[in-house]
Structure 1
Amino acid sequence: MDIQDLVNSINGKLVGNDEFFSIDGFTGKFTFLNNAHTGDIVIRHWIDEVGVKLAFDKNIAALITQTPKNGALEMAEKLNFPLIITDKIELANAYALQHTIEKFSPNSTNVVITGTNGKSTTSHLIYHIIKTAGYHVLTNTDSESEFNTLIDPMVSKLISDEVIANGDLDYLVIEISEVQGWLGNLMKNHAALMSKAIKPKVGVITNIAMDHIGLVNSIDEVFDEITAVPEAIGDGICVLNHDDELVMKLDAKNPFYTSMSEIDSENAVYYDGEGIIYNGNRILTNDELPFNSYHFIQNILSAIGACISLGLEMEDIINGVKSYKALNRRFAKLNDKPLIYDDFAHNPDGIKATISETIKLLPPNKTLYVVCSIRGSRGVEINKLNVEAIVESMDDNIKLILSSSNDVVNDLNFVEDEEREVFFDTLKENSIDFIHYDNLEDCLRQTYEKAEIDDIILLIGAQGMDPAESLLKDII
């Protein structure tokens, strides 16, 4: 690859050297500055003169950034080092992803998963089924959702590292955020841009709902972000949630449907209340499913639909589903008496679905303690929608406990006064009693001590609830 081809492909501007800096040229690897070796290319949202000097000392091939600051341009000129400036860093990361797949995994069969809810469970389940079937597969889904943003070169690095260490990949399973941004600015058409770079044989769209308030402010904007994904998938198969009205408005060339009720279609898999049906046959019963809650069965259906579309053997698909263990914080059971469940419910649909499923498990005349961490530094709007979802889900048997989690979050997730106040005001307006704790440890300890042996404690929320499991081990 010529450096000018790279510059042109990402609508960039080249400063400093007009050739790759390292003697041996470009290794083909895109990575982070601290991980970079001779001949690699580094992509960073911003870089200063210290970073440019470090790149020079590491003898990397080139630097790509969106925001040069504090003398970065001058240092690149002084050292005659190639610094590429792009107005949209997502173009660089999409290019890196496409180039990495073409160089390191050109023969793999690729799958993309996007949507508002259920992406991680669906992606991880597809990965597990393929791996259980004996194939070499890589996914970017992890329990803390750190690698699924695609706003940096992490996935490109994961792919090249895996192939170099363990040989050619048979499959890539890539989770893509349906809406993405940086510093409050929307990266328009992110999901479609990344899907096109990956060139999937199968794409899964789980649902379309509100999240990422501030980047998008209406359901129509979320739909606009996802609507280009089927086009990016092209002749590949789109696995679509037939129960989602907006998903069904997408224009997919080769659709495969999933549903929680019967569908009269050969290209469909559905749930009939007693198990999962495909081509008129019950392939899995309720007792064989790793989860029995509504939204998790939807995820199972999406994963099965994807694996059928990939042409995997039905026996391998069934064995993979039966043997699946959930990701952390996906309705994970942390304790038996009282029952404690922990779920990464962090947006309105997730909150309503998780509370609804949990209350079905509650014995008569017992209490469900809903312990919710307020989303910190995410804005008033998403917190207002979240608390309204809690209000809609409230029941006479529910007691609501809130935490700001000041003791466990960093400054990027700190709950601002206005975020806390919108929770309090909305609950008071709806005459809903609640208890609030500044610290998560106090919140969990007090709730655990109050709960009787047959009650249920449900932990919900994003970053502010992530450390709950480790704290509870000490408390219990």
Structure 2
Amino acid sequence: MNDLVESVEGKLIGNDEFFSIDGFTGKFTFLNDAHTGDIVIRHWINGAGVEMAFNKNIACLITQTPKEDAVEVAEKLNFPLIITDKIELANAYALSHTIEKYSPKSTNVVITGTNGKSTTSHLIYHILNNAGHHVLTNTDSESEFNTLIDPMVSKLISDEVTEKGALDYLVIEVSEVQGWLDKLMKNHAALMSEAVNPKVGVITNIAMDHIGLVNSIEDVFDEIKAVPEAIGDGVTILNHDDELVMKLDAKNPFYTSMSPLDEENAVCFDGENIIYNNDSILTVDELPFKGNHFIQNILSAIGACISLGIDLEVIVEGVKSYKALNRRFAKLSEDPLIYDDFAHNPDGIKATISETLKLLPENQKLHVACAIRGSRGVEINQLNVDALVESMTDDMVLYLSSSNDVVNDLNFVEDDEREVFFDTLNRNNIGYTHFDNLSDCLNEVCSKADINDIILLIGAQGMDPAESLLKDIK
């Protein structure tokens, strides 16, 4: 118990020994899922939560914010409650401990960066899984498990190993910037990468997102620069085309590039072929998707798997058979063509629109429906609308959605977030149509688009339900 308190820089309230008779099971989890001897990590807890933990006979509770009568109840019940100012230390400890206990022999990979993390992680997972290995990743289509600000990944690992046996590989996506209640969790990416103890780490790019937690590209760089040190003697896959990524100090770098590279440890794209060791290993026609930013993700995944020692033929077969995650430039319809992409920051918006315009037939229109990011602040929405302005062409028709009919209160679009879109577009003489509800927006887009036009849906939570809504509309 004392080692745990020290590791999370915490203060112990109540019992100074684990509460359950048999001590600690080795599992970190959530309060609702906890059993006798588990440890629960929660950002906040009140007296009722402490009493629930007491009745479940869990080993102890770790929290950052004891609310109401939490401390008093812990003292009254003599229940061990650890209070820390940095809940991320508890989650990093949980991750490290879980891997050491449940997956000590697995080969581990971490993926971080501003864009492309999920596609790269999922592609690495697919290549390894397709080769017959037992693999676990925290990447999922709705990005529910990749924040590492709670014990979800620790729980996933212990549950997977308990149910299905030892893991061969862990592929862990790590947010490049993370926070809680608008407070930056400093060094999050490095902290979590070190906890995973990776043999290979991937850094996709360094760009702006998470405005409020960080306010400049320099801040983002500061959050990522310690990651190569956390990867240590492992191989670090670096995007050679990103100027800031190339400023990182990696001990064992492996490079990727969308242009030919004269580097020994590198995989690149020459416009027609993916090249490794001066040989073409895949042609552009064999790739599961052909947009530049997706090819960059493919290069990162290939570089990671090469660095893991996976046979090249296995890697190639995995790439060819890959099916994209939901909302990663997913094709939802052929007539007209409808693409859906989780473009939620400036670089993602510009890259996705650029790739879609390449597919647009001559004299046809690209109908862009963009969900405004709700409850994320004016700053990120300003950057997003600036990216739209920069991307606009005469071939584009723009629709905006506040998506009031599909979002919860955590993603509700505030007036100032909506106004920054309106003001910027009006100032730049760009026409648009705004809808309070996503269903109305999609109805309008579908009714206005010609059979040979293309519809592009972009945005984060406010656009997530679009595919199911479109099924009813079509």
Flag whether TM exceeds 0.5 (same fold). Answer: yes
Residue 67 of structure 1 and its aligned partner are, at CA, apart by 0.4
Residue among 71, 74, 77 paired with 1:76: 74
- The structure 1 residue matched to 2:251, chosen from 250, 253, 264, is 253
- Aligned counterpart, 1:22: 20
> Counterpart of 1:189?
187
* Counterparts of 1:37 and 1:420, CA distance in 2: 45
Q: Which amino acid aligns with 1:349?
A: D
Deviation at 1:374, TM superposition (A): 0.2
Distance 2:444 2:372 in 1: 18
Name 2:142's counterpart in structure 1. 144
Q: Does 1:406 align with 2:369?
A: no
* Residue of structure 2 in register with 1:114 after alignment: 112
Q: Distance in 1 between matches of 2:194 and 2:85?
A: 20
Partner of 2:57: 59
How far 1:275 moved relative to its partner? 1.5
**Are 1:38 and 2:36 counterparts?**
yes
One-letter code aligned to 2:91: N
Count of matched residue pairs:
474
1:314 aligns with 2:293: no
Aligned positions of 1:141-290 closer than 5 A: 141-290=139-288
Deviation digits for residues 76-116 of structure 1, max 9, x if unmatched? 01111000000100000000000000000000000000000
| Equivalence for 2:461 | 463
Equivalent residue for 1:380? Answer: 378
CA distance in 2, matches of 1:343, 1:109: 31
Q: Deviations over 1:333-369 (max 9, x none)?
A: 0000100000000000000000000011000110000
Following superposition, the deviation at residue 209 of structure 1 comes to 0.1
Displacement after TM superposition at 1:7 (Å) = 0.4
Deviation of the 1:286 alpha carbon: 1.0
Q: What SS does the aligned partner of 2:295 have?
A: helix
Q: Which one-letter code corresponds to 2:27 in the other structure?
A: K
Q: Secondary structure at the match of 1:327?
A: coil
Of 96, 100, 113 in structure 1, the residue corresponding to residue 94 of structure 2 is 96
Q: Which runs of 5 or more residues in structure 1 are unaligned?
A: none
1:179 CA drift (Å)? 0.1
**Partner-residue secondary structure (3-state), 2:108:** strand
Rounded Cα–Cα distance in structure 2 between residues aligned with 1:295 and 1:130: 22
What amino acid does structure 1 have at the position aligned with 2:256? T
Write out aligned runs for 1:385-464 (5 A).
385-464=383-462
Alignment partner for residue 132 of structure 2, among 131, 134, 137?
A: 134
- In the alignment, the residues of structure 1 paired with residue 163 and residue 314 of structure 2 have an alpha-carbon distance, to the nearest angstrom, of 26
| Structure 2 gaps, min length 5 | none
CA shift at 1:287, angstroms? 1.3
- CA deviations 1:360-385 (Å, max 9, x no partner) are 10001100001000000000000000
Output the CA distance in 1 between the equivalents of 2:311 and 2:2: 45
**Partner Cα distance (2:296, 2:143) in 1:** 20
Query: What do you get for the CA RMSD once the two structures are aligned?
Result: 0.4
Displacement, 1:69? Answer: 1.0
Cα distance in 2 for partners of 1:275, 1:62 equals 55
CA distance in 1 between counterparts of 2:273 and 2:332 reads 26
One-letter amino acid of the structure 1 residue matched with residue 308 of structure 2: L
Following TM superposition, by how much is the alpha carbon of 1:20 offset from its aligned partner in structure 2, in angstroms? Answer: 0.2
- Equivalent position of 1:295 in the other structure: 293
Task: Give SS of 2:21's match.
Answer: coil
Which residue identity lines up with residue 5 of structure 1 in the other structure?
A: D
Distance in 2 of aligned mates of 1:223 and 1:286:
32
**SS of structure 1 residue aligned to 2:349:** helix
- Measure the CA separation in 1 of the matches of 2:111 and 2:32: 29
Instruction: Report the secondary structure of 1:354's partner residue.
Output: helix
Q: Distance in 1 between matches of 2:23 and 2:220?
A: 41
Taking the aligned partners of 2:273 and 2:180, their CA distance within structure 1 comes to 42
* 1:24 CA drift (Å): 0.6
Question: Does 2:10 correspond to 1:12?
Answer: yes
Match for residue 353 of structure 2?
355
Instruction: Report SS of the residue matched to 2:419.
Output: helix
Secondary structure of 2:359's counterpart equals coil
User: Which structure 1 residue ranges, 4+ long, deviate > 3 Å from structure 2?
Assistant: none
Once the two structures are superposed, residues 104-152 of structure 1 have per-residue CA deviations (whole angstroms, 9 ceiling, x without a partner) of: 0000000000000000000000000000111100000000001000000
The residue aligned with 1:342 is 340
For 2:67 and 2:417, the matched residues in 1 are separated by 32
Give 1:8 deviation, angstroms.
0.6
State the secondary structure of the residue aligned to 2:211.
coil
User: What secondary structure is seen at the aligned counterpart in 2 of 1:34?
Assistant: coil
Q: What is the match of residue 326 of structure 2?
A: 328
- How many angstroms apart in 2 are the aligned matches of 1:449 and 1:165? 49
Tell me how far 1:154 sits from its aligned partner: 0.2
Give the distance between the partners of 1:394 and 1:52, measured in 2 at CA: 54
> Aligned with 1:391: secondary structure?
helix
CA distance in 2: counterparts of 1:284 and 1:364, whole angstroms: 30
Distance 2:234 2:362 in 1: 49
